Chain A
Amino acid sequence: EVQLVESGGGLVQPGGSLRLSCAASGFTFSSFAFHWVRQAPGKGLEFVSAISSNGGTTYYANSVEGRFTISRDNSKNTLYLQMGSLRAEDMAVYYCARKQRLTQGHYYFDYWGQGTLVTVSS
């Protein structure tokens, strides 16, 4: 059974840092790219960051560029999001999502974690 389990969320002060993890099981982790997607309270879904299957290519939303770093450890089947200089507007539930490719450009997220809540407040 495919499982994605996020952890690492919590309460952090503005300007602080946090590292999120997404532990994967039930499939060959190193064969898939992943995204982090966030959802502010009562709001919709927003792309945060993406990483290729070997970790060699990464992407970031403009709003987090320079503050967040996505990485992965294929030996540990784990995806990470290092978050720094946190702001009130970063407060959200953060989901990891597995990217399933169809053809060039066509893809979808076939598995999502349950999410981990990041609260930014003094």
Chain B
Amino acid sequence: DIQMTQSPSSLSASVGDRVTITCRASQSISNYLNWYQQKPGKGPKLLIYAASSLQSEVPSRFSGSGSGTDFTLIISSLQPEDFATYYCQQTYSSPPDTFGQGTRLEIK
């Protein structure tokens, strides 16, 4: 199975900050990479698919980039509702599709 490693595992930031979360695959996955946001007690919400395509109705402050093994999720200006846990997911070699371990974004 392809392993997905996110960094950092957690970070603290303030409203208005620019935040970068990275995801690394154990082998090349082209752009078969999705990003999700999860808030406590809720199912995940799709943010970005195919590495850089913004899901409908997701604010434009979210963006994704990367190809091969290294990917990035950027939140350009943090809003209060963005404090959550973020997961990357590879669908290049599936099943099983695999997720990163998550990045918990907390308020500083």
Q: Do A and B come from one complex?
A: yes
Q: Enumerate chain A interface residues (CB-CB to B < 8 A).
A: 35, 44-47, 50, 59, 61, 95, 97, 102, 105-110, 112-115
* Stretch with Cβ within 8 A of A (4 or more), from B17-25, B76-84, B98-106: B98-106
Q: Enumerate chain B interface residues (CB-CB to A < 8 A).
A: 32, 34, 36, 41-46, 49-50, 55, 87, 89, 91-92, 94-102
- The listed residue (B41, B50, B91, B101) touching A44 by CB distance below 8 A is B101
Known: A102-B50, A108-B46, A109-B46. A44 touches B102 (CB 8 A): yes
Q: Return A95 CB to nearest CB of chain B, in Å.
A: 5
Known: A44-B99, A59-B95. A106 touches B43 (CB 8 A): no
Task: Check B91–A47 contact: CB distance below 8 A.
Answer: no
Interface-central residue, A45, A61, A102, A115, by most chain B CB under 10 Å: A45
